[in-house]
Copies of this chain bind each other. A is one copy, B any other.
């Protein structure tokens, strides 16, 4: 517990902590073109060839990010790799290499770790990525996975969070909230089955929710379609912490506001049914659930005609001047200020 003169980390949250820690830091190498604060760092190791190297890293901890009572190790490995690939695509790049570090407590056997690795290697194969290194250690409690991904991009195809401009159109790929609902479903069945050895969870008709939670994919097809249509987004990021949180990142970093329309938020039928069954607000789940790994991006108004042809993403709103703030426009026309209610790993959780 913190003394009076000390600051609890939960009071800052993850983004506040990172900004506090890196505030005074200045880069000294000319190969560092972009440091902390986007989906990836951008490095220039190519001289004048116009290629850039992207670097991103994600940490997954047992008991915080995953629960092995309902997460198969192979799926976990696949997801640990894919969430990093997603960050590289979200910068307009292509993932090429990963390193994987594992901390492994004594309850895991070689066979367990082989399962985990089978998932990592499957993701690598599927996305054309090479596993090039890592570190492996015993851990005191539980499993931890730290993945770093290296990608490449042409200088001109890199999309940062900071390029959105007033009147740009806001798009999001796929649909939102399903991974969150998948997690709610898994938690409910875990609780229902607690202590019963022969318990059979009931997932019929909810396969999509489970897939979104347990085996997400990175949207390289969206990047391919943007390229095919000749659309260059002005800002882009992947939706990992929830649409609200990501919209606020883009608006903050681009110094703009936005209007996003409730009726345009893409939501799958199974997500809606599950929200009703759990008596949860569907739009809140879609805006704040997180772990969607969809791509959120902005397109200049002048490219509207090209963007209308997108089959993988949907127009959900537009960028405004910063003084208009960031709002969700409800079906009845009310403007609700968007607040980041994305998941804060440092917030004390109710058990």
Interface residues of A (CB under 8 A from B): 1-2, 5-9, 11-12, 14, 17-18, 20-22, 25, 27-29, 31-32, 34-36, 40-41, 43, 45-47, 49, 51, 53, 55-59, 61-65, 96-97, 99, 101-104, 106-111, 113-114, 117, 121, 124, 128-142, 144, 146, 148, 150, 152, 345-346, 348
Please determine whether B7 and A101 come into contact, CB atoms closer than 8 angstroms.
Answer: no
Partner of A47, one of B36, B49, B61, B110: B49
Cβ distance A97 to chain B, nearest Cβ, rounded Å: 6
Choose among B32, B34, B144 the residue that contacts A103 (Cβ–Cβ < 8 A). B144
Chain B residues contacting A57 (CB-CB under 8 Å) are: 99, 101, 133-135, 146, 148
- Is A20 a contact partner of B99 (Cβ separation < 8 A)? no
The answer to whether A136 and B18 touch (CB under 8 A), given A45-B46, A111-B6, A131-B35, is yes
In contact, A113 and B17 (Cβ under 8 angstroms): yes
Asked if B146 and A59 sit within 8 Å, CB to CB, the answer is yes
Evaluate contact between A43 and B101: CB separation under 8 angstroms.
no
Q: Assuming A101-B59, A103-B59, A128-B28, is B146 touching A109 (CB within 8 A)?
A: no
**Minimal beta-carbon separation of A178 from chain B (angstroms):** 23
Q: A117: which of B21, B31, B146 is its contact (CB, 8 Å)?
A: B21
Given contacts A9-B109, A36-B132, contact A46 B49 (CB under 8 A): yes
Check A97/B1 contact, CB under 8 A, given A64-B139, A135-B57.
no
Task: Summarize A's interface: helix, strand, loop or mixed.
Answer: mixed
The 6 closest A-B pairs by CB, nearest first: A41-B132, A146-B146, A7-B110, A6-B109, A63-B140, A148-B148
Query: Nearest chain-B residue to A1 (Cβ)?
Result: B107
- Which residues in B have their C-beta under 8 angstroms from that of A96? 29, 31-32, 43
Give the Cβ gap from A96 to chain B, nearest Cβ, in Å: 5
Q: Does A55 lie within 8 Å of B128, measured CB to CB?
A: no
Would you call B97 and A134 a contact (CB within 8 A)?
Answer: no
Asked, given contacts A7-B111, A55-B132, A96-B29, whether A137 binds B14 with beta carbons under 8 Å apart, the answer is yes
- For A37, give the chain B residue with the smallest CB separation: B133
Residues of B within 8 A of A137 (CB): 14, 59, 61, 64-65, 345
From the candidates B22, B31, B59, name the one contacting A135 in the complex (CB within 8 A). B59
Cα A271 to Cα B66 with chains together (Å): 45
Q: Which residues of B contact A128 (CB under 8 A)?
A: 28-29
B47 close to A51 (CB less than 8 A):
yes
User: Which residues in B have their C-beta under 8 angstroms from that of A31?
Assistant: 96-97, 152
Instruction: Knowing that A17-B113, A17-B136, A36-B133 touch, tell me 16 more A-B residue pairs with CB under 8 angstroms.
Output: A6-B111, A7-B111, A9-B108, A25-B130, A27-B132, A29-B96, A32-B97, A41-B133, A57-B146, A57-B148, A58-B135, A59-B101, A59-B102, A61-B137, A61-B140, A61-B144
Q: A63: nearest residue on chain B (CB-CB)?
A: B140
Q: How far is the CA of A40 from the CA of B346 in the complex (A)?
A: 33
Please, which residues of chain B bring their CB within 8 A of the CB of A58?
A: 101, 135
Q: A45-B45, A49-B47 are in contact. Are A101 and B18 (CB under 8 A)?
A: no
